[in-house]
Amino acid sequence: MFKKILSPLHPHDVAVVSFAVFLSLLNLIFQASIPPWDVLILVNGLVSLGIIALAYFDERRPGLFLRFVHLWYLAPLIFLTFKELYLMISPIHGRDYDDLLIAADRWLFGVDPTVWLAQFAHPALTEVLQIAYASFYFLFLLAGYELYRKKDIPTYTLFAFFVVYGFYLSYIGYLFFPAVGPRFTLHNFDTLNEELPGLLLTNVLRDFVNLGESIPLDVPHPIAFAQRDAFPSGHAMMMLVLMYFTARYQMKTSIFVFIMGTLLIIGTMYLRYHYLIDLIAGILFAILCIWTAPMLYEQWQRLRLKLRG
């Protein structure tokens, strides 16, 4: 029975279930601080059971619909897990650590880098970088679609593991070191559209990014709603992982990903979403992901073969 449950699981399934267990344990430990802790544990359990069942039936009774869901469920799930962190991080810590990140930037570089970058601001540059920054999730969907359309399932499942494992690494950073970023601490969030204007799409795309980070439009105290997701820079980290993967496997999207990814990484600071120390941490997290993901992937695949014995 144990073998029948585990052997159908792909590496990305194992990553999701493992992280759900990890979050559930945190909810249990900090239940006095997290009001919906029991609901979150229940949701994590149902999601885990659903993934185990999906993998089982996808292997036993393969079909186009089951295969599609099994390969693409990560797209909404990664975002939903991000929202679960929203309900956990502030209650667990009760404070943000932006002061330490600001101090680290000033100690290392002698300035506040986002303030220093303001001298180069131009509406056209702001527009281009905001478009690139808002394209973050689209770039992953584009790369995944290329592999899915080619029916290169082995490479797709490796890609899926890289992506979910990388996102979860960044989420661990958010859990242990919450911060909101310089647009709230070193700059005035409410006047950002006036201080750093774009051309046509900047304001709309800013609002889109803000909504993704749980900040409603025109609220009196937006910092109270913001996700604590500044350290490390998940955008920089995951763009580097995506740029590596598309280049390593010679994907058609690699050039476009490289261009947009480079602009996006520049935008993390220019647009005042991140401190420079966040970017440095994102680079280190990306190296860790690129180094360890293939090993973990292969270890699970070998274990699957043994279980099928």
Q: pLDDT tens across 38-73, in order?
A: 999 999 999 999 999 999 998 877 778 889 999 999
- Contact between 273 and 189 under an 8 Å Cβ cutoff? The reply is no
Return d(Cα 56, Cα 170) in angstroms, integer.
29
Q: What is the 3-state secondary structure (H, E, C) of 158-227?
A: HHHHHHHHHHHHHHHHHHHCCCCCHHHHCCCHHHHHHHCCCCCCHHHHHHHHHHHCCCCCCCCCHHHCCC
Supply the pLDDT for residue 106: 97
- Contact between 199 and 109 under an 8 Å Cβ cutoff? The reply is no
Give me the DSSP letters along 252-280.
TTHHHHHHHHHHHHHHHHHTTS--HHHHH
Q: Is the peptide bond before 36 cis (omega within 30 degrees of 0)?
A: no
pTM of the model: 0.95
- CA distances from residue 89 to 66, 130, 173, 228 in whole angstroms, order as listed: 34, 27, 11, 7
Supply the pLDDT for residue 46: 97
**pLDDT, tens digit, 9 for 90 and up, residues 14-44:** 999 999 999 999 999 999 999 999 999 999 9
Return d(Cα 297, Cα 300) in angstroms, integer.
5
- Contact between 34 and 93 under an 8 Å Cβ cutoff? The reply is no
Supply the pLDDT for residue 204: 96
Return d(Cα 267, Cα 265) in angstroms, integer.
5
33: DSSP letter: T
CA 294 to chain centroid: 19
- Going from N- to C-terminal start, the domains of the chain cover 2-308
> And the tokens for 102?
């600001």
Q: Which residues of the chain have pLDDT under 70?
A: 1-2, 309
Return d(Cα 11, Cα 145) in angstroms, integer.
19
**pLDDT, tens digit, 9 for 90 and up, residues 106-135:** 999 999 999 999 999 999 999 999 999 999
Distance between terminal CA atoms of the chain?
14
- Contact between 41 and 84 under an 8 Å Cβ cutoff? The reply is no
Return d(Cα 212, Cα 207) in angstroms, integer.
9
Supply the pLDDT for residue 124: 98
- Contact between 169 and 288 under an 8 Å Cβ cutoff? The reply is yes
